[in-house]
A and B are shown apart, each in its own frame.
Chain A
Amino acid sequence: MDLHKVRRLSRVLVTSQLRSGRSSSDPRSIFGQPAFTAGLDVTVFLVAFTVVSLAVRSLTLGSGASGAGSVGAAVNGAIPFFPLAAVGVVLIAGTMFELSATAKFSGSDAVNWMPITPAEYVVSSSSAIAYTYSPAVALLLGGLLAFSVAEGALVTFVLTLILTVVALFEGALLVEMVRSLSTRAGSVGSGRRGPATFVLRAVVLISAILVLDLALNPVFLFEAVQRLSAFPAVSAAIPLFWSSRALSEWLSGQYLLGVAFAAAQVGFVVVLGLLAAQLRVRYWVPSATEIRLDAHRYARNHPVLSRIGLSRPEAALVSKDLRGLIRRKEMMPPLVVPIVLVLLLLIEGSGFGTLTTILWVAWVGGFFALLLSVTSVGQERRSLQLLFAFPITGRTVFRAKAAAALLPVVVAAAAMSFGVGLVAHFSTVSLLGVVLLTVVAAVILSFWGLVFAGRYSDFQERPRPQFLRPSAMLGATLSGVALLSAIVLPGAFVVADPSPTSLGFVVLSVGIAVTVGISAYVLARSGFDALFRELPF
């Protein structure tokens, strides 16, 4: 293995990952330099160390030895989970990054035709992934060092540090394996049917987000700690837990056993590396798989879309965008986020009252609409010049983009609010009210998203497309929150408790909705007119 080559390739991969983000694509930006991550590591480590040191000192002074002892016990209980947390952070973040990359970039990889062995690539790539996500670990370790200094347990800190860094690589190697396997699964799942790929990606992404939510849920983590200590035989059999076992044994004075588990963990990571290299050799493909769909029938009249008043070019544009919505890998996150939010509501929200449920559903509907409509122009990327070259006007594109956003949004908002209302046993009036409120919020937020899409879309080809310029995305989100609150809050009170006395809330909600809706429509339309005066790139 040529270590110089590995180091150079790692540096390039880190740079690539940093610059594929939102604000660091400028090669001169400090945020796009690998050194930035190292600086961030040091900063968060020192900040965490300082903050926790001060907290420990004030706790010791305030409550004496008993308080410090109980904190120490809690920290000792948490230490075994540091390596697991590192694996989780890298695995989830790395997998999410992979899923949001465009097929064009994830399917092409220059290193495939360079003189680099699969093992060299796997070591480089996993090092790059581990390095990219290292600030999260630095934060944990900075806090731990403060406790270790206070407790005089520096040897434990060093062992935790080593095993957490090993865990970082373990997570990175797992991401490498996910990459190779998803390439394989994508081609198996698609074959001759594209929708299979769509479902596969959606399931993976929804699972990843749910796991992430549970991994960050303190109640779930506490339960995991209890289970691990209750079933030592189980944790000994699962390599993923060996670092945790090593630290548990070390903390309980079983030093030899602790070192044995630590050595076993290192050995397991080496085996993972070899396995990842083999998977790369076997499953990595340098170009996209050819996917054949059912034979296309020409001369369709788009009957459904024509019926809602769209001209043939508008209907063709809508049809194109809807196909893209389910076929494009990078469109997956805006689609699955509302599904995850509803699933979380159903899993964790059993104690929600009627008002909270109505607010949640209307917000999810509104945000889905906003997320989808802000992508509507930026998703064209360089193909925008095709729309300019066709004999159509900016107004045609506006109507088509509005319809392409509204159709899925209205259907999803109505179905979701109706479903949740049924599950929550709403009265008939409340059920109709929540459907109406959610659909209205979704429609208005769709136009609000189009206001930003027409003016601030980003058309750059990037590994990880951003659709809207970062500052505009922030503006759209903040203003969307404000508008959604103004529309939904008074409406939700009425729906939760329909009575003649709530007439004032009805008038307020309708008034705000009409004012904002008309303003958003006018602003969005003028934005498209301005956009279609000259190609923006």
Chain B
Amino acid sequence: MGALPSDTHPSVSGSFALEVDGVSKAYGTTQALSNVQFAVPRGQIVGLLGPNGAGKSTTMKAVLGLVRPDSGTIRVFGRDVHADPVGVKRQIGYVPETPSVYEFLTGAEYLDFVADMYGLDPTSRRAQIQPFLDGLELSGHENSLISGYSQGMRQKVALIAGLFHHPQLLVLDEPLNGLDPRAARVVKDLLRNRVTRDGVGILFSTHVLEIAQAICDRVVILHHGTVLASGTVDSLRDRTGLAGSGLEEVFLALTGTGDIGDVVAALER
């Protein structure tokens, strides 16, 4: 199936937390991104979906200024990411796919370090951090070295580091990885509150389509570095002619990876 046109065009800067406009990026002979275009409106969660190697992580890194696009522009609240990287990053909370936190620090030391990086007021940071430690049940563990944490605990630390300084744009790469059901629910509700109450924009990458369907207002489907389709789940259902189907069926149909039955049969032989 060919690419479907996007129904969200980044035209009015004022209403968007993030605008990705015609971004391309190649690593040697590999074209990681090709004319990628989408936007994250304020007060919405946009799911960034795609098979492995589709270009999701490269897109997120480009949004953060970690990689420089070969062409195209990325604006956060109307500001070009590469023109004012420090100012833009101050407004972003980032949770990487793998929580590469400093393992030789304790959880509390790491969060204090992050607070220093964002220039948070020393007198109020404890009050900002402690509710997160309590809410995600890390209290009592914050003075242990991160090297001794479980995967879920590391993920919680990375999440707290991305959220506690109240950024206006959240860039979350598989943020619910390894979380227990309670913590996952806390995070999902928290994100929804940030969106509806504070007008935060969220770019949310995940492979778990049930989660994307449950919490994302719109989705962007990347495949081979291009935007295959974007819009609300309902609009994608309509356009694929899969009315009544879940996001999983829509995704598999769009990405042309719907030959599941054949694959399973081959594996069972």
**A and B: interacting chains:** yes
A interface residues (Cβ-Cβ under 8 A, vs B): 103-104, 107, 194, 288-296, 298-301, 312-313, 315-316, 319-320, 323-324, 327-328, 381-383, 385-386, 388-393, 533-535
Does A388 lie within 8 Å of B65, measured CB to CB?
Answer: yes
B89 within 8 A of A: yes
- In the assembled complex, 23 residue pairs joining A and B whose CB atoms fall closer than 8 Å, in A order, are A194-B145, A295-B143, A298-B108, A298-B126, A299-B124, A300-B112, A312-B116, A315-B116, A320-B109, A382-B98, A383-B100, A385-B61, A386-B96, A389-B66, A389-B89, A389-B96, A390-B114, A391-B85, A391-B87, A391-B89, A392-B86, A393-B86, A534-B67
B19 within 8 A of A: no
Does B145 lie within 8 Å of A327, measured CB to CB?
Answer: yes
On whether A316 and B117 interact (CB within 8 A), knowing A299-B125, A301-B122, A534-B67, the answer reads yes
On whether A293 and B103 interact (CB within 8 A), knowing A316-B116, A388-B64, A389-B64, the answer reads no
B64 to chain A, nearest CB (A): 5
Does A288 lie within 8 Å of B122, measured CB to CB?
Answer: no
B33 to chain A, nearest CB (A): 14
Does B67 lie within 8 Å of A535, measured CB to CB?
Answer: yes
Does A324 lie within 8 Å of B125, measured CB to CB?
Answer: no
Interface string of B203-225 (1 = CB under 8 A from A): 00000000000000000000000
On chain B, the residues within 8 Å of A382 by CB distance are 98, 100
B94 within 8 A of A: yes
On whether A290 and B144 interact (CB within 8 A), knowing A312-B116, A385-B96, the answer reads yes
On chain A, the residues within 8 Å of B103 by CB distance are 103-104
A328 to B63, CA, bound (A): 32
A106 to chain B, nearest CB (A): 11
A52 to B203, CA, bound (A): 70
On chain A, the residues within 8 Å of B124 by CB distance are 299
A194 to B122, CA, bound (A): 26
On chain A, the residues within 8 Å of B101 by CB distance are 383, 386
On chain B, the residues within 8 Å of A292 by CB distance are 143-145
On whether A534 and B68 interact (CB within 8 A), knowing A288-B148, A291-B148, A294-B143, the answer reads yes
Given A103-B147, A298-B126; 4 other pairs, CB 8 A cutoff? A290-B144, A315-B116, A328-B104, A386-B100
**Which of B64, B94, B112 is within 8 Å of A298, CB to CB?**
B112
B119 within 8 A of A: yes
Q: Which size bracket describes the interface of B in this complex?
A: 35 or more
Does A320 lie within 8 Å of B119, measured CB to CB?
Answer: no
**Which of B98, B104, B117, B147 is within 8 Å of A392, CB to CB?**
B117
A264 to chain B, nearest CB (A): 44
Does A324 lie within 8 Å of B104, measured CB to CB?
Answer: yes
- Most chain A beta-carbon contacts within 10 A, residue among B68, B101, B112: B112
A532 to B145, CA, bound (A): 28
Does A391 lie within 8 Å of B86, measured CB to CB?
Answer: yes
Within 8 A of A (CB), among B88-120: 88-90, 92, 94, 96, 98, 100-106, 108-109, 112-119
On chain B, the residues within 8 Å of A381 by CB distance are 100
On chain A, the residues within 8 Å of B125 by CB distance are 298-299
Does A289 lie within 8 Å of B143, measured CB to CB?
Answer: no
Nearest A residue to B123 via CB reads A299
Nearest A residue to B87 via CB reads A391
Does A293 lie within 8 Å of B143, measured CB to CB?
Answer: yes
On chain A, the residues within 8 Å of B113 by CB distance are 316, 319-320
**Which of B94, B116, B145 is within 8 Å of A291, CB to CB?**
B145
Leading 9 A-B pairs by shortest Cβ distance: A316-B116, A290-B148, A299-B122, A296-B108, A391-B89, A298-B126, A391-B90, A390-B117, A535-B66
Nearest B residue to A394 via CB reads B85
On chain A, the residues within 8 Å of B109 by CB distance are 296, 320, 323
A328 to B147, CA, bound (A): 10
A341 to B227, CA, bound (A): 60
A391 to B87, CA, bound (A): 7
A55 to B37, CA, bound (A): 75
On chain B, the residues within 8 Å of A104 by CB distance are 103, 147
On chain B, the residues within 8 Å of A385 by CB distance are 61, 66, 96, 100
A319 to B122, CA, bound (A): 16
On chain B, the residues within 8 Å of A319 by CB distance are 113
**Which of B67, B68, B88, B119 is within 8 Å of A313, CB to CB?**
B119
On whether A293 and B116 interact (CB within 8 A), knowing A391-B89, A535-B66, the answer reads no
Nearest A residue to B124 via CB reads A299
Does A296 lie within 8 Å of B112, measured CB to CB?
Answer: yes
A323 to B129, CA, bound (A): 21
Nearest A residue to B128 via CB reads A298
On chain A, the residues within 8 Å of B122 by CB distance are 298-301
A314 to B115, CA, bound (A): 12
Does B104 lie within 8 Å of A391, measured CB to CB?
Answer: no
B193 to chain A, nearest CB (A): 23
- Most chain A beta-carbon contacts within 10 A, residue among B86, B90, B104, B129: B104
Nearest A residue to B149 via CB reads A290
B261 to chain A, nearest CB (A): 33
Does B89 lie within 8 Å of A383, measured CB to CB?
Answer: no
On chain A, the residues within 8 Å of B105 by CB distance are 320, 323-324
On chain A, the residues within 8 Å of B143 by CB distance are 292-296
Nearest B residue to A328 via CB reads B104
A223 to chain B, nearest CB (A): 42
B153 to chain A, nearest CB (A): 10
B57 to chain A, nearest CB (A): 10
A457 to chain B, nearest CB (A): 15
A1 to B147, CA, bound (A): 35
Does B100 lie within 8 Å of A388, measured CB to CB?
Answer: no
On whether A299 and B89 interact (CB within 8 A), knowing A327-B104, A386-B100, A391-B117, the answer reads no
On chain B, the residues within 8 Å of A328 by CB distance are 104
